[in-house]
Amino acid sequence: MTTSSAPGKVYLFGEHAVVYGEPAVPCAVDRRARVTVEQRDDSRIRVEADDLSLDGFTVTYGENPDDADVNVPGDLVAAATGYVDGAVAQARDAAGVPDAGFSVTIESAIPLGAGLGSSAAVAVAGIDAATRALGVELSCGELADRAYRVEHDVQEGQASRADTFCSTMGGAVRVEGDACERLPEPPDLPFVIGYDGGTGDTGELVAGVRALRERYGFAADTVESIGDLVREGERALREGDVARLGELMDYNHGLLSALGVSARSLDAMVWAARDAGATGVKLTGAGGGGCVVALDETDATETALEYTPGCESAFRAELDAEGVRRE
Amino acid sequence: MTTSSAPGKVYLFGEHAVVYGEPAVPCAVDRRARVTVEQRDDSRIRVEADDLSLDGFTVTYGENPDDADVNVPGDLVAAATGYVDGAVAQARDAAGVPDAGFSVTIESAIPLGAGLGSSAAVAVAGIDAATRALGVELSCGELADRAYRVEHDVQEGQASRADTFCSTMGGAVRVEGDACERLPEPPDLPFVIGYDGGTGDTGELVAGVRALRERYGFAADTVESIGDLVREGERALREGDVARLGELMDYNHGLLSALGVSARSLDAMVWAARDAGATGVKLTGAGGGGCVVALDETDATETALEYTPGCESAFRAELDAEGVRRE
C-alpha cells in the first residue's frame, strides 16, 4: 500500500482576473486529500471514497466507467472517478505500465465542489501514490504538470495551473499565465473558512465576467485593478503585514462583487465575519456559492459563521507550507 | 400663509466619486418636504415639524436656538432647526428684511437622515416659501445656490451642490464639480427604495474613501471607474435603456462596496431586491446605512424588502420631473 496526501487551497487574491493574465495568489491550507493505492492483479480500478461525497461510495470499474457497479448518481461518480481515472492514467504513462490496476482509497477532508481544490488534491496525491507504487519517483514539477493535465481533461479545458501547482508545492504561490512560483515564507495566516454547502457554475461565472469585460471599459479596468491589488498583496505578504492583507482581501471581495460573482450566501458570511472582527474576508474561488475565507486569529469569526444562516460549516485552516506528502 | 414643496432624491449613479470631480446623476423622487411659512409680528422663528423626526416636535426660538423651549434631544433639534434657520436667514437676506420672523410648519414625506435629501428639500422649500412671503421671487438658479449655502453652513463645508440643485430643478440631474445641469427627459424609472432606519456617518465614510484612494492606486482607479460608469449611464438614460441602467447600478454598488461604504443591512436589502428580480439595485447616498434604490416595475422588490430583516420601510418613488413647487 502506498499513500500520499495533498492539501486543498484558498485564493488569498486574484481569482477571475487570473484568466486574463493578471497574477493570483492561492495558498495551500491544512485540509488534505489522502489517497492510498494498492496494485491489483488485474488492470481494473477500484475506488473507495470517504467524505468525497456526503456519504462516500465504492465503485469498481474496468476500461469503461459506464459499466461500473455503484449505487450513487452517475454524475457524481463520473466527476469523482474522473480525477482518479486521470491520475491512474498519468501514473501508468509515467511508469510505462499501461495495464496497471489499482485499488484506490480516498479520504478527503476537503469539501467536494466547494472551490477549495479537492479535485486538484486528489489528482496530485493520486498520481504521486500510483507512480510510487509502480516504482517511479516524479519531480514536483512533473507531478504538478501531470495533475494539471488531469484537471484540464476532466474540466474540458477550463482548468488553471494554480490549483494543482499549489497543492503540489504547498505554501503561498504566485500564478501568472502559465508561470507558477512558490512565494518565500509567508507570515502566519489564521484562515477561517465558511462554506455555504453549495457550488457556483464556474463556466457560467467566467462567461459572465468575460461579457462584462467586453461590454464595458470600466469592467476591464476592474480586472486590471485586481492585478494591481494582487501585486500590493505580494508586498504585504513579504512584509508580513497581516492587517494590510485583510484590507486588501476586503477590497478584492468588493471588486469581485462588482464583477457579479458573489452570492447572497457569500455576502451573508462576509458580513458575519466582518461584524465578528475578522481582519479581512472575501469569497474564494469562482464564487456564485461555495466558500469565503477570512483572516482571524481569534475564535470570533468561526463562531459567528457557525451561527450564520446559510453557512453549512465553518472551520479553521492554517496555511500549509507542505505540499504533496508521502504518508 | 405661503407654502412651497421640494422633492427628495436618490443617486442613480456616482456618489462618493463626485467628491473627486467625477460626474454623478442624482434623480428627484416624488417624496416631498412641504414648508409653510407665516410672517410673525416679532422677529422670532417658530418651527412645527411633522414626520421630520419620528414623533415630530415643535420649537420656538429667538436669536439663539440654545434658548429654545423643546422636549426632544438637543442634537436632533440643532440639526433640524439648522436648515430652517439657514433658510430663513437666506430669505431675509434675499428680501432685505433682516428682522422678519416666521412661524414655519414642515410636513415631510422624506425620512430624515436617510440620505434621501430631506435637508436639501427643507432648505429649498423653506427659502422659496419665506422669500415669497416677503414678496420676492427668486430664480431657480439663485434658489439652488442659496439652499446650497444653507447646507454648506449646517454641514460645515461637507455639502455637495447636487442635492439642492436636484431638489430645486427636479428630474434627473448631472453634477460634475460645481457644474450642475438638468438632463433631458429620462425614461420612466420605477424606483423602489428600501430604508434600514439608520444613517451612516457621512464625514467618516468620505474620509475612509479618501484614505483608500491615497493609499492604493487601484482605489483611485475605482473612483475613476465610477466616473466612466456614470458616463455610460448617461448614454443609457438618453437611450431609455432601463435594463442597462440596472446592470450599471449593480456594478456601481459593487464598486462602492470595494470602497468600503456599504453595510450589512444595505447588502441584505440589495440581495433581497436581486432575488426578487429587480432590474438593478444599489445603495444611494453616503452609505454605511440608510437606503438602497432599486428599479422594478413590478411589486416584487417592494414586497421582498418589506419582509427583509433590517429593512424598516420600503416604498415606491417615481422620478419627479418637477422640482420646487408653489402649493
Tell me, what amino acid is at A147? Answer: A
Q: What is the ipTM of this complex?
A: 0.89
B301 or B47: which leads in pLDDT:
B301
A285-316 confidence digits (pLDDT tens): 999 999 999 999 999 999 999 999 999 999 99
CB count in 10 Å sphere of residue B260: 20
The count of C-alpha atoms lying within 13 angstroms of the C-alpha of B13, restricted to the half-sphere facing its C-beta, is: 34
Q: Is the dihedral of CA A223, A224, A227, A229 positive or negative?
A: negative
CB count in 10 Å sphere of residue A32: 25
CA of A264 to nearest chain B CA: how many angstroms apart? 6
In sequence order, what are the beta bridge partners of A38? A103
Residue A254 has its nearest CB partner, among B254, B264, B268, at B254
pLDDT the model gives residue B203:
87
Q: How far apart are CA B84 and CA B234, in angstroms?
A: 34
Q: How far apart are CA B244 and CA B266, in angstroms?
A: 22
Q: How far apart are CA A48 and CA A72, in angstroms?
A: 13
pLDDT the model gives residue B77:
62
**How much of chain A, in percent, has pLDDT values that exceed 90?**
78
A178 DSSP assignment: T
In A, minimum Cα distance to B231 occurs at A218
- Does pLDDT of A99 surpass 90? yes
C-alpha cell read off for B291: 437606503
pLDDT the model gives residue A305:
98
pLDDT the model gives residue B321:
94
A186 DSSP assignment: P
Q: State the pLDDT confidence band at A64, using cuts at 50, 70 and 90.
A: low
Contact call for B258 and A260, based on CB within 8 A:
no
Q: If contacts are CB pairs under 8 Å, which of residues 58-87 in chain B contact chain A?
A: none
The DSSP H or E segment spanning A58 is strand A57-61
pLDDT the model gives residue A62:
60
Range B173-190 average pLDDT? 92
Instruction: Count chain A–chain B contacts defined by CB atoms under 8 A.
Output: 82
Domains and CATH numbers, chain A: 2-184 (3.30.230.10), 191-317 (3.30.70.890)
B60 or B36: which leads in pLDDT:
B36
In A, minimum Cα distance to B281 occurs at A258
Quote the distance between the C-alpha of residue B320 and its chain's center.
13
Q: If contacts are CB pairs under 8 Å, which of residues 212-271 in chain B contact chain A?
A: 212, 216-219, 221-222, 224-226, 228-229, 232, 250-251, 253-260, 262, 264, 267-268, 271
- Does pLDDT of B6 surpass 90? yes
pTM over 0.95: no
Q: What are the CA-CA distances from residue B282 to residues A8, A158, B267 (Å)?
A: 35, 32, 9
**Mean pLDDT over the full length of chain A:** 91
CA of A210 to nearest chain B CA: how many angstroms apart? 14
* Residues of B annotated as catalytic (active site), given as ranges: 163
CB count in 10 Å sphere of residue A196: 22
- Does pLDDT of A76 surpass 90? no
Q: State the pLDDT confidence band at A52, using cuts at 50, 70 and 90.
A: very low
Residues B246, B247, B249: CA angle, nearest 5 degrees: 60
In sequence order, what are the beta bridge partners of A213? none
The count of C-alpha atoms lying within 13 angstroms of the C-alpha of A108, restricted to the half-sphere facing its C-beta, is: 32
Per the CB < 8 A criterion, the answer to whether B216 and A232 are in contact is yes
B76-102 confidence digits (pLDDT tens): 566 678 899 999 999 999 999 999 999
pLDDT the model gives residue A47:
87
A171 DSSP assignment: S
A236-281 confidence digits (pLDDT tens): 999 999 999 999 999 999 999 999 999 999 999 999 999 999 999 9
Q: How far apart are CA A140 and CA A146, in angstroms?
A: 10
- Does pLDDT of B75 surpass 70? no
Give first-to-last CA distance, chain A, whole Å. Answer: 10
Identify the active-site residue in A163, A250, A296, A320: A163
Residue A221 has its nearest CB partner, among B212, B221, B260, at B221
Range A58-76 average pLDDT? 56
pLDDT the model gives residue A53:
41
Range B164-176 average pLDDT? 96
Share of chain B residues as helix, strand and coil, in percent rounded to the nearest 5: 45, 25, 35
- Does pLDDT of B54 surpass 50? no
Q: How far apart are CA B83 and CA B169, in angstroms?
A: 19
